[in-house]
Structure 1
């Protein structure tokens, strides 16, 4: 116990002693404690307890949960034989052999009149009178409470020592140490109040004449809360609670500085959800917002702990990974995200699926500054989106040309609609088995004045994103109707012309009326006009789709499901949809006769359609062997490059005339 005895002597003039809680004994104490505990020490020697049973139980609990050197989070009162009051504090010490005890100090609680001269008392009373509406307190030089304003007492309650104010004991020690070295100080710190721990601004000054110090406190918790709320508002996405573009740029700038200094690499993934606009348009923004939340949660769970996920807004996300050594690390993250995206998302009591296109760029391989790194990752993402869904691409130099073309086309699309820079091409539909031309599918092309012929794969997504698909779709319908009228006036036998509808166009409120007006204005027989729709388009809102399809049927139009087999329609709804034709997707036709699975699917689809009195068209036919198989399965019509590619109006007319001459 020699070390503990020396430690206690250093604490003079405070009374300090050690309690062996387990044995309820006092094995060590200093001279001040011996004077204070005279009666208690004699009781202990007589075999009496040094502490009450309740206090022993409480102290035993804290000894079990606290390490050596830690302070107890509470104090307890002590009254001497003469009636003097003390506040006792304790810290955990080692008693040897793995046992723990308690080192305690007794801090006297001295009344104002016992420590202050009449002059000091008058000064204190006068000062407190000036601070009726402020939180003001006076402590002795040793930290003992002397007096305080009513506001202070109402906020902090019963305070005996300046240490009672601080939420962290280390902060109290630092404060007292600094105040003894300077006459005044000001700082922001957390204090313990009757309402809990709250941020305060404190100002303290030391009065050498009265040997006291004054403390003025101001509660700034609401200001701190407002600052935190404002920071989150500016730097975090309110929907997903992910950091936003502001914090992304901060991290990228910091990563750039570190990478240059330490000659390291870092990279990012730029994500854009595939077809999210369709979900927003068809199901509403509430469903879209919930889906975004689910997607954010899953992406966050798919990336390593060292990566950071940001939401840029809309359906765009960015993943940043610092200290990468290879591009393969970034590709591995992209693969993990895509793999987890294959599972459905439970949203609004539905099971939804959505994928993401991902672009990857790395410093310094692909850019040496933040803006170009983001731009190049975006270009790689655009390449992935234009190639197919749920794909990723690493940036290559030529991708910058693609994104520039994308922006150029987007800017000229509205002008192209106004100036009618579009034309329709027509791919013949061939009846089996006599291979007569019985119809055509109208396909739009953009004849750009500078770039020449632009395929729909390049400009239709732009039209969807910008909303220009509606006026463009109306132009296609009206132009197709005029073409039917021109062929009729040229003496061409009646054929059926089909037009594809986009999902955005199908949701157009006045679509049925627009089609009816186009038919009436051109005098086209509705039975010669067909609308092609996809399965997924119809199933987004099956009931509303049924109503709209019946409205089209009342006009006398023919309705066809395009790309059949690639969506998620059920046989139950297939019976309810008033359709007349199924088009088997080209992906099932490509390996026909070579792939048993595809053969079985095509055969079953044709048999099912025949039983429902539906006509079947196979698209993408490119070989005689495919025709032979389809003939054997009793498929009614085909279209594909074996017979003809899409033709301009004049060439299609010639193709038809040649077909009639051959027949």
Structure 2
């Protein structure tokens, strides 16, 4: 497991962090900026600029632009975009005042630091320069040591301002503004050079649930740890430079925090390898790294990601289009659990429009009576009598007809609508189960699926309590079904949440057992009552003598933990006979019935009880 984040290692907004993890102060930061700083000098006396350059080279500065023709100064400033301008005031045709006024009126150049150098030393000249926006003022002849000190101070302030505006204070990665500007330069280069590259958008799935359950401070720790993992996988652990948007000499992918729980990388594509192979290798390395949980405040945090890719070429229209395409591809990958990443293609836009239409329809589906419940029997293996049902939600769209839960449940989870829909399902299921109990099926139990979003809602326990109270359903008649992967996300906080459910008297079942990653130690700690074996394992049983070692082991494990077992997907008498021999308590499947509406389920109940009578 990864170690807990030490408080002393947290990046502070007022400090910059070097590749080796040590912290630099403002003057160390200025020293690094000196190596990168571009200094422009505008003076009609070339000898003055030559002397200045000699002195500044001794201080470590390396990049200079000299302009002796003041009429060309503004054009050169716009072309070169220097980090600081050393400007003479008294020049023929175009004075330093004129240039300074134009700079402060220019949206792009408005914040360029300007140090005025002039032979005039009277207060009026100095005051006028400062009023027009000069950053500093030095009288000629220039003292080289004083200029170096003032230049260093100016660059320190510029560097810190640059850092605060272009670097994410939490992760120390470049932010969206910096990355967008860099990407715009790359788009222009791609068009000019006909080269190819890729934009990789990485989204942490269900990060909101971590923030909700652990709090923003712990959530920030997770983001910081994740950013370090991204750097390790994409840049071999080397810190992402941010001092300049020009990263042409950087052969590694350029990594940035785009916003919230989304990170982005720019990757130049080599002509030697296929893009899909390179992207697969990078993505799989990151996914494999995330198989090891982060440990934050003593809790194991497992993360999963969705990755979308858009390709940069000479046909790329804009940075905004590139990012939007990567977003579309990321959402496509997120909905396709079998894909580690997706590369954008035109058909995804049509799919995105279709999903948007579905999402809009889903928002009013409950109020319009389009959402309804079906129930699949849960049957005692020993007596073959119906013991209860699993409640399942369906959507009958007025135009598209019956929409599969595979299509609309992920949409509801991504949009957050699963919370309101889930509450409606819970209440409807409790009321229906109570109606059947009052009809004489007093031991009837109802199982309701709950999503990770619902579980992490602050008022989830109150919602369950309210549904039980209003329906008058005995708490022990309600079974809350959670998937295996779900309870292992933020396992420690889930232990607390599930214990509160248990205190209500509700039963807790693990659905799709065997398809995720459970820790046996946590299975012992969770207040569980039931384990459901996924149908993929049951399908391997072809006769009543099939070995079925995995099914056998699961049933044995569950019984050792004091849990009852439900086998899903029982479709043949041979499968039923085999799980009966293995002492499985209940089953679901088409051998008894497919999921049916309440009236049809009631008919099943009545016929079942007549047979038992």
TM-score, scaled relative to structure 2: 0.68
Paired residue secondary structure (1:215):
coil
* Partner in structure 1 of residue 450 of structure 2: 501
Query: 1:353-502 counterparts in 2 under 5 A?
Result: 353-364=302-313, 368-388=317-337, 391-488=340-437, 494-502=443-451
* Partner in structure 1 of residue 78 of structure 2: none
Match of 2:254 among 308, 318, 323: 308
Query: 1:10-21 counterparts in 2 under 5 A?
Result: none
* Partner in structure 1 of residue 117 of structure 2: 203
* Partner in structure 2 of residue 240 of structure 1: 171
Question: CA 1:646/1:490 → structure 2, altered by over 3 Å: closer, same or farther?
Answer: same
Paired residue secondary structure (1:591):
coil
* Partner in structure 2 of residue 299 of structure 1: 230
* Partner in structure 1 of residue 581 of structure 2: 632
CA distance in structure 2 between the aligned counterparts of 1:427 and 1:366, rounded to whole angstroms: 53
Match of 2:533 among 547, 561, 584: 584
* Partner in structure 2 of residue 257 of structure 1: 188
User: 1:386, CA displacement in angstroms?
Assistant: 0.7
Higher relative contact order, structure no. (Cα contacts within 8 Å, ≥ 6 residues apart):
2
Query: 1:340-355 counterparts in 2 under 5 A?
Result: 340-343=286-289, 344-348=292-296, 349-355=298-304
8 Å Cα contact 2:201-2:263 kept in structure 1: yes
* Partner in structure 2 of residue 214 of structure 1: 141
Question: Given the alignment of the two structures, is residue 318 of structure 1 paired with residue 264 of structure 2, yes or no?
Answer: yes
8 Å Cα contact 2:194-2:313 kept in structure 1: no
* Partner in structure 1 of residue 37 of structure 2: none
CA distance in structure 2 between the aligned counterparts of 1:328 and 1:444, rounded to whole angstroms: 43
CA distance in structure 1 between the aligned counterparts of 2:278 and 2:584, rounded to whole angstroms: 45
CA distance in structure 1 between the aligned counterparts of 2:483 and 2:52, rounded to whole angstroms: 76
CA distance in structure 2 between the aligned counterparts of 1:496 and 1:573, rounded to whole angstroms: 26
Question: CA 1:328/1:352 → structure 2, altered by over 3 Å: closer, same or farther?
Answer: farther
CA distance in structure 2 between the aligned counterparts of 1:412 and 1:307, rounded to whole angstroms: 40
User: 1:162, CA displacement in angstroms?
Assistant: 9.0
Larger radius of gyration: 1
* Partner in structure 2 of residue 329 of structure 1: 275
Paired residue secondary structure (1:635):
coil
Question: CA 1:598/1:340 → structure 2, altered by over 3 Å: closer, same or farther?
Answer: farther
* Partner in structure 1 of residue 81 of structure 2: none
Match of 1:270 among 201, 206, 223: 201
Paired residue secondary structure (1:258):
helix
8 Å Cα contact 1:255-1:322 kept in structure 2: no
Question: CA 1:248/1:607 → structure 2, altered by over 3 Å: closer, same or farther?
Answer: same
Question: CA 1:373/1:541 → structure 2, altered by over 3 Å: closer, same or farther?
Answer: closer
CA distance in structure 1 between the aligned counterparts of 2:59 and 2:382, rounded to whole angstroms: 93
User: 1:440, CA displacement in angstroms?
Assistant: 1.0
8 Å Cα contact 2:198-2:311 kept in structure 1: yes
User: 1:358, CA displacement in angstroms?
Assistant: 1.6
Paired residue secondary structure (1:486):
helix
* Partner in structure 2 of residue 653 of structure 1: 602
8 Å Cα contact 1:277-1:465 kept in structure 2: no
CA distance in structure 1 between the aligned counterparts of 2:422 and 2:470, rounded to whole angstroms: 17
Question: CA 1:225/1:466 → structure 2, altered by over 3 Å: closer, same or farther?
Answer: farther
8 Å Cα contact 2:302-2:489 kept in structure 1: no
8 Å Cα contact 1:562-1:585 kept in structure 2: yes
User: 1:560, CA displacement in angstroms?
Assistant: 1.8
* Partner in structure 1 of residue 155 of structure 2: 224
8 Å Cα contact 2:546-2:578 kept in structure 1: no
8 Å Cα contact 2:370-2:397 kept in structure 1: yes
User: 1:604, CA displacement in angstroms?
Assistant: 2.0
8 Å Cα contact 1:498-1:529 kept in structure 2: yes
Instruction: Please tell me the root mean square deviation across aligned C-alpha atoms, in Å.
Output: 4.1
Paired residue secondary structure (1:354):
coil
8 Å Cα contact 1:531-1:558 kept in structure 2: yes
Gaps of 5+ in 1: 1-141, 144-160, 179-186, 190-198
Question: CA 1:530/1:345 → structure 2, altered by over 3 Å: closer, same or farther?
Answer: closer
TM-score, scaled relative to structure 1: 0.63
8 Å Cα contact 2:481-2:508 kept in structure 1: yes
CA distance in structure 2 between the aligned counterparts of 1:551 and 1:315, rounded to whole angstroms: 29
Gaps of 5+ in 2: 1-46, 69-83, 87-112, 122-138, 236-250
Kindly indicate which of the two structures has a greater share of residues assigned to strand: 1
CA distance in structure 1 between the aligned counterparts of 2:361 and 2:181, rounded to whole angstroms: 35
Query: 1:536-575 counterparts in 2 under 5 A?
Result: 536-539=485-488, 545=494, 548-549=497-498, 551-575=500-524
CA distance in structure 1 between the aligned counterparts of 2:205 and 2:591, rounded to whole angstroms: 33
Paired residue secondary structure (1:416):
coil
CA distance in structure 2 between the aligned counterparts of 1:530 and 1:497, rounded to whole angstroms: 6
Question: Given the alignment of the two structures, is residue 168 of structure 1 paired with residue 58 of structure 2, yes or no?
Answer: yes
Question: CA 1:204/1:575 → structure 2, altered by over 3 Å: closer, same or farther?
Answer: closer
